[in-house]
Structure 1
Amino acid sequence: MIVDAEGVKASNGYDLAHETQTDIMDSSGSLANKLRNIVVRNLQLILIIVGVVCGFIIGLPLNSHVQSSNYDVEERRRIVILVGFVGEVFVRLLKLLIIPLIITSIVLAVASLDTKTTGKLGRRTFTYYLSTTVIAVIIGVILVLSIRPGDTAVQHEKSQASHVDALDSILDMIRNIFPDNLVETTFRSSQTSYKDDVTSLYNISIPDRNIRGSVENLTKFLENNLYDPWSVNETSLDVRVIKKNSRKVWAKIEKTDRMNVLGIITCSIVFGIALSKLGPEGKPVKELLEVCLKIVMMLINAVMWVCPFGICSLITANLVEMENIAKTFESLAYFIVTAIAGTAIQGMIVYPTIYFISTRKNPLRYLFNMQAAAYTAFGTSSSAATLPVTLKCVKELNNVDSRVAHFVLPIGATVNMDGTALYEAVACIFVAQLNGYHFGIGKILITVLSSSAASVGAAAIPSAGLVTLIMVLEAAGLPTSDVGLLYSVDWFMDRLRTVCNVIGDAIGCVVIEKFSRKDLHDDEYSPL
């Protein structure tokens, strides 16, 4: 061995110092490769987070400029449209995929299981969604009674809210579950509309020619001829009179330009059950649907690259549209804090606890893999529009059984509105506190039940909870005119409760999969 001043050399002449330097270079190169691989694997998620941050960074100063400048209402509206245009295109692309995704996923999921297993999945899904909704409402009630945000809120100018009837809402939901036209379900749904003025009710078919052409005669006829609107006879009308607070409200069942997701789900489940019973004869149809589903998932992956720009555009547009952000949030600060606290408890404590109890695993990894769906829900404020992303995260990142994911998620995006139920309970008691009403145990129970029921009937679209809130207020005997003051912050709160709804759907998948593992194992066929 030869020792010199420059280092230690082995007898074979190999330089140990050179070896150490090479190891450091290899280590740094390996670290760089690892970092690069992490960035590549999570590139979409990183871009989505950047999009959310950029939305606030761009939106806040742009709001200050637009609102403080001498723009008229039309110019401001045009600016909002231009700023939010990319986001509008993004939401359109997501909604474009909803119908093929729901139909193919549910039909395949049901067709791959026998009728008995499908029934068990349905019961477990219903039990989970009902349980989490009731828990969310109870959390909201406890928080709003403890914090009492209505005692500190600033009074706003009241506006006249639309009439909403609880019975009509339930009947509308049942009508939509059983559609009369399969094609029409893709773009229309049944909804009872209410008008204070009979002249605004169009397409009234009246067989009696003696009362045609005269609004006074028509009004008198409707007032003096109350009837059962579901009776079938030659003189019945599809319009009826409702007495509401000493004023007359005209009600008519109409078709609204909104997708009937409940009807699509019902038809898909029935078609899947029939396909399952066909056995080998139905195999070609199953294979065709599998290919269609793969195509839809490929399109979803492509649309996801637009997600960062779309979310940035949507958040910026909503911020620009607000007249005075600081004043709005300051006047309803306690209400916002109460609703956010309830949503956070539901999303960060209740759901992870349910996950841990069911699976005995750390929920943080599962929730981390749902980040893309959460950010998309925050940007779009629509559970239905987020459905393609939610399905992608649950299947590909969290490895949930595809049959469970395809069955549970479309139903959850339609009926599981835990965040909405919590928000409506908080808002209802907030309005009571604002007007000096005392809520006893009876009123609280009514609030819990009506909030839970209203959330199920809420459409999976932006600000749908604000409409069903009117029903909750009327059930509790509270004035509906105060709904207007919540509208100024609803765009923000709607995004948070949508995130809560989406996380609840995702947790529901793994919980239902856990309790259905034996039944799923008994089925040999598993799509995709």
Structure 2
Amino acid sequence: MAETKKKVSSTTWIVLSMVLGVIAGFVIGEPMTQVKFIGDIFFHLVQMGIIPFVMCTIIEAVGALDAKALSGYGLKGIAWFAGSSLLAAGIGLVLAVIIQPGAGIAAASAAVDYEASNVTFQDTISGFFGSNIVSSMSEGSMVQCIVFAIALGLACSAWRRAHDNECLVYDVCSQLSKLILNIIRGVMKIAPIGIFCYVGAMIGSLGLAVLIPVAMYLLVMLIAVVIMFAIWIALVSVRCHYNPVKLIQKMWPMSALALGTISSAVTLPTALEDTKSKLGADPEIADLLMALGMPLNSNGAAIHLAVTALTIAQIYGVAFGPGELVYVWVISFLLSLANAVSPGASLVSMTMIVPQLGLPMESIAIFAGLEYPTGALRTILNVDGDVYTCLMVSASEGKLHPEVFNGEEKAA
């Protein structure tokens, strides 16, 4: 019987294409810029459905909230999700501003024509709300589209509660998000070609110096994730009276699975079981919040988007003012709600945020081969953040079971 050949993963192909693009750009030089249009086509195909995909995904996630989720401990869990993701995006933003992972690449400063505007805090906040959703979609104003999607999602949730969980708009958005995701997955099959052309063109134009920020970029992400973990563990240890070392030990199986699979969906069954049977969270609270956390809680994705946006801006010599930094902070948080579950998810996420900041699309290519390290950092924080939220809400509701955590009693 012939031995079955192991299929090469899409991530491996993307990494290989990036390496070959670097080599081709270095060897061939300036002529490689002539193939950049192929990369343009690839990113245009990814972008063409991004706005409706993000909106439908958020409408589906918010519209699925039932009465239990919108009151009591469900609302507490959502508040923890929102607060922690905002904090995570802020930590990533501050570290990127302080460490400047993309600074010092002088050759890149002329590659983008960006005019810094004097945007006030008031202008930034008012800019989150559009007066015409059709205009907001056509102009690609992502934050305005997300605000509208959240409002429509809440309306769908209320409608479904009043009409036996039936809502045509919700069903259409749910199916449309899945169909667009299938398109994105199809487009991602040609990602290696687009990445090769973009990386080759960038290296041919700017030289190998543009690779220097990559290591600093990963370092900043790692530091941000560690800080966020330290905050979470401190909060849970104090509020739940748990031993932090024991907490880390009991969460290691799910954390290791998250690191290995870089998939919150694959990790969910293990995380849900351990949250109830090893950590002492209330089963009813865990069942609800772990499911809600999949679409609504993305601490790791928020850090990834904020750090990526500022690193790219620094590579191209773009300086953001206070108002623009607030915009980056908020849009990183909001876009983390629509974190794509597809091959090359980080690539799709970067495609969402980079155009919103007026930065060049070719900048994304240099980070495309980092799917595994960035995905691992994002996923472990996303998964563990859901668990910490379950513990905090269980404690606040008086339904925590420390005897289960301490091994004195088995979970019901």
SS of the residue 1:400 aligns to: coil
In the other structure, the counterpart of 2:177 is 190
In the other structure, the counterpart of 1:134 is 86
Q: Are the equivalent residues in 1 in contact too, given 2:272–2:286 (CA < 8 A)?
A: yes
Q: Are the equivalent residues in 2 in contact too, given 1:417–1:501 (CA < 8 A)?
A: yes
Residue 343 in 1 paired to residue 225 in 2?
yes
What is the aligned counterpart of 2:389 among 505, 508, 514? 508
Deviation, 1:140, is 0.7
Residue-by-residue CA offset, 1:123-170 (whole Å, 9 max, x unaligned): 2111111111111111111111111111146979x9xxxx96514456
- Farther-moved stretch of structure 1 (329-338 vs 144-153): 329-338
Distance 1:360 1:379, change over 3 A: same
Root-mean-square deviation (Å) = 4.1
**Correspondences of 1:153-172 after superposition (within 5 Å):** 165-166=141-142, 167-168=144-145
Distance 1:499 1:117, change over 3 A: closer
In the other structure, the counterpart of 1:217 is none
In the other structure, the counterpart of 2:206 is none
**Correspondences of 1:250-265 after superposition (within 5 Å):** 255-257=180-182
Deviation, 1:503, is 0.9
In the other structure, the counterpart of 1:444 is 325
Distance 1:130 1:176, change over 3 A: closer
Output the CA distance in 1 between the equivalents of 2:148 and 2:296.
Answer: 15
Deviation, 1:119, is 0.8
Deviation, 1:476, is 2.9
Residue 146 in 1 paired to residue 133 in 2?
no
Output the CA distance in 2 between the equivalents of 1:181 and 1:443.
Answer: 34
Structure with higher strand content: 1
Q: Are the equivalent residues in 2 in contact too, given 1:339–1:422 (CA < 8 A)?
A: yes
In the other structure, the counterpart of 2:71 is 119
Residue-by-residue CA offset, 1:251-275 (whole Å, 9 max, x unaligned): xxx65439xxxxxxxxxxxxxxxxx
Deviation, 1:461, is 4.7
Distance 1:462 1:372, change over 3 A: farther
Output the CA distance in 2 between the equivalents of 1:445 and 1:183.
Answer: 34
In the other structure, the counterpart of 1:427 is 308
Runs of 4+ in 1 over 2 A off after TM superposition: 115-118, 152-156, 167-186, 188-191, 254-258, 327-331, 459-481
Q: Are the equivalent residues in 2 in contact too, given 1:455–1:465 (CA < 8 A)?
A: no
Deviation, 1:398, is 1.2
Q: Which amino acid aligns with 1:407?
A: L
Deviation, 1:474, is 3.1
In the other structure, the counterpart of 2:216 is 334
Q: Are the equivalent residues in 1 in contact too, given 2:88–2:299 (CA < 8 A)?
A: yes
Aligned residues: 287
Output the CA distance in 2 between the equivalents of 1:182 and 1:444.
Answer: 34
Residue-by-residue CA offset, 1:173-212 (whole Å, 9 max, x unaligned): 77778563898888x4437xxxxxxxxxxxxxxxxxxxxx
Distance 1:518 1:366, change over 3 A: closer
Deviation, 1:506, is 0.8
What is the aligned counterpart of 1:497 among 378, 388, 403? 378
Deviation, 1:492, is 1.8
**Correspondences of 1:58-457 after superposition (within 5 Å):** 119-152=71-104, 165-166=141-142, 167-168=144-145, 178=156, 180=168, 188-190=175-177, 255-257=180-182, 332-347=214-229, 349-457=230-338
Output the CA distance in 1 between the equivalents of 2:323 and 2:337.
Answer: 22
Output the CA distance in 2 between the equivalents of 1:328 and 1:150.
Answer: 9
Deviation, 1:509, is 0.7
SS of the residue 2:366 aligns to: helix
Output the CA distance in 2 between the equivalents of 1:370 and 1:508.
Answer: 14
User: Which structure has more RCO (C-alpha within 8 Å, separation ≥ 6)?
Assistant: 2
Output the CA distance in 1 between the equivalents of 2:83 and 2:285.
Answer: 19
SS of the residue 2:177 aligns to: strand
SS of the residue 1:479 aligns to: coil
**Correspondences of 1:41-56 after superposition (within 5 Å):** none
Distance 1:494 1:329, change over 3 A: farther
Output the CA distance in 2 between the equivalents of 1:172 and 1:257.
Answer: 21
In the other structure, the counterpart of 2:52 is none
Distance 1:154 1:404, change over 3 A: farther
Deviation, 1:438, is 1.1
In the other structure, the counterpart of 2:366 is 485
Normalized against structure 1, the TM-score is what? Answer: 0.47
Q: Are the equivalent residues in 2 in contact too, given 1:343–1:419 (CA < 8 A)?
A: yes
Q: Which amino acid aligns with 2:78?
A: F
Distance 1:420 1:462, change over 3 A: farther
Distance 1:120 1:426, change over 3 A: same
Distance 1:439 1:393, change over 3 A: same
Output the CA distance in 2 between the equivalents of 1:483 and 1:491.
Answer: 15
SS of the residue 1:352 aligns to: helix
SS of the residue 2:391 aligns to: helix
Q: Are the equivalent residues in 2 in contact too, given 1:419–1:500 (CA < 8 A)?
A: yes
Q: Are the equivalent residues in 1 in contact too, given 2:298–2:337 (CA < 8 A)?
A: yes
Identity of aligned residues (%): 21
SS of the residue 1:369 aligns to: helix
Q: Which amino acid aligns with 1:506?
A: V
Output the CA distance in 1 between the equivalents of 2:170 and 2:321.
Answer: 46
Q: Which amino acid aligns with 2:279?
A: N
In the other structure, the counterpart of 2:193 is none
Output the CA distance in 2 between the equivalents of 1:405 and 1:439.
Answer: 40
In the other structure, the counterpart of 2:9 is none
SS of the residue 1:257 aligns to: helix
Distance 1:371 1:180, change over 3 A: farther
Q: Can you give the 5+ residue segments of structure 2 that lack an aligned partner in the other structure?
A: 1-11, 21-63, 112-138, 157-166, 184-195, 200-208, 402-410
Deviation, 1:367, is 2.3
Q: Which amino acid aligns with 2:219?
A: V
Distance 1:519 1:148, change over 3 A: closer
Q: Can you give the 5+ residue segments of structure 1 that lack an aligned partner in the other structure?
A: 1-59, 69-105, 192-253, 259-321, 521-526
